[in-house]
Amino acid sequence: DAGVIQSPRHEVTEMGQEVTLRCKPISGHDYLFWYRQTMMRGLELLIYFNNNVPIDDSGMPEDRFSAKMPNASFSTLKIQPSEPRDSAVYFCASSPRGTLSSYNEQFFGPGTRLTVL
Amino acid sequence: ELKVEQNPLFLSMQEGKNYTIYCNYSTTSDRLYWYRQDPGKSLESLFVLLSNGAVKQEGRLMASLDTKARLSTLHITAAVHDLSATYFCAVDSLRGAQKLVFGQGTRLTINP
């Protein structure tokens, strides 16, 4: 039973380059979340999707960041152009369908450690 | 705006001792989650607390929820080195919104 899959696990790039992070959620989960974790800011929610539709992107730091979910089994987070302050660990998480009577436990992927030089 | 605060943020303790991590949140919620993160690793779900008075235990860890006080505790009994990690609590931002608000995390170091 595969969990959330992320690729690449590590990415080193130079300032100004485009970076694409990928995520495959757990099969059957309707919600997908992108987080960023740094020592200074902790764990931040960037954006989340429900049934492939972006619901809340208020955490996306600026226009250089974009996220897509073209189908239920794949999502990307793109940074263009990248800057050194984007260096962080980016986590993808997924959650099964929620109703007013269920709960919202999220399952995290292994993360992508991004370093922008 | 929902805020989640953990206390303490850093905790160093000796093996065999007991201690408690506190998680306070600012608005009404009856669902709270505890996660563990080992250095360089991802977040792993530990407990899901779904109602006032809920208590869950796994090994040396016990979590409880008091929704009236807006407080959850994670109690460590007779700590062992393997429990060294960062522990996060998280709260539902709004019923039905499917978004969690995380605390800052408590970095726990257990020394032999």
Quick check: A111 pLDDT over 70?
Answer: yes
Determine whether the interchain pair A43/B100 forms a contact, defined as Cβ–Cβ distance below 8 Å. Answer: no
Q: Are B25 and B78 in contact (CB under 8 A)?
A: no
Per-residue confidence (pLDDT) for residue A100, from 0 to 100 = 46
Determine whether the interchain pair B98/A42 forms a contact, defined as Cβ–Cβ distance below 8 Å. Answer: no
Question: CA B90 → CA A44, A53, B26, B29, B101, distances in Å?
Answer: 12, 24, 12, 11, 5
As a whole number, mean pLDDT of residues B89-108 equals 85
Give the helix/strand (H/E) hosting B101: strand B100-102
Quick check: B110 pLDDT over 80?
Answer: yes
- Which residues of chain B make contact with A31, given a CB cutoff of 8 A? 98
**Pairing assessment for the beta strands A31-38 and A42-50 based on DSSP bridges:** antiparallel
How many A-B residue pairs are in contact by the CB < 8 A criterion? 51
Nearest 5°: the CA angle B103, B108, A116 is 65
Calpha distance B9→B22 (Å, rounded): 10
User: Using one digit for the tens of pLDDT, what is the confidence trace for B40-71?
Assistant: 999 999 999 988 888 999 999 999 999 999 99
Calpha distance A80→A18 (Å, rounded): 5
- Which residues of chain B make contact with A93, given a CB cutoff of 8 A? 43
* Interface mutation vs chain B, best among A4, A43, A58, most B CBs within 10 Å: A43
Quick check: B84 pLDDT over 50?
Answer: yes
User: Using one digit for the tens of pLDDT, what is the confidence trace for A20-61?
Assistant: 999 999 998 989 999 999 999 899 999 999 999 999 999 998
Per-residue confidence (pLDDT) for residue A104, from 0 to 100 = 76
Min Cα–Cα distance to chain A from B42, Å: 5
* Average model confidence (pLDDT) across chain B: 92
Question: CA B95 → CA A99, A102, B17, B31, B91, distances in Å?
Answer: 9, 10, 37, 9, 10
| Partner residues linked to A47 by β-bridges | A34
Query: Tokens 């999220």 belong to which residue?
Result: A106
* Interface mutation vs chain B, best among A7, A38, A103, A112, most B CBs within 10 Å: A103
Calpha distance B80→A72 (Å, rounded): 41
Task: Report which residue type is found at A103.
Answer: Y
Min Cα–Cα distance to chain A from B47, Å: 9
Length of chain A: 117
At A98, is the pLDDT very low, low, confident or very high (cuts 50, 70, 90)?
low
- Which residues of chain B make contact with A105, given a CB cutoff of 8 A? 33, 45, 48
Q: Are B96 and B11 in contact (CB under 8 A)?
A: no
Query: Tokens 């409880």 belong to which residue?
Result: B64
**Distance, first Cα to last Cα, chain A:** 36
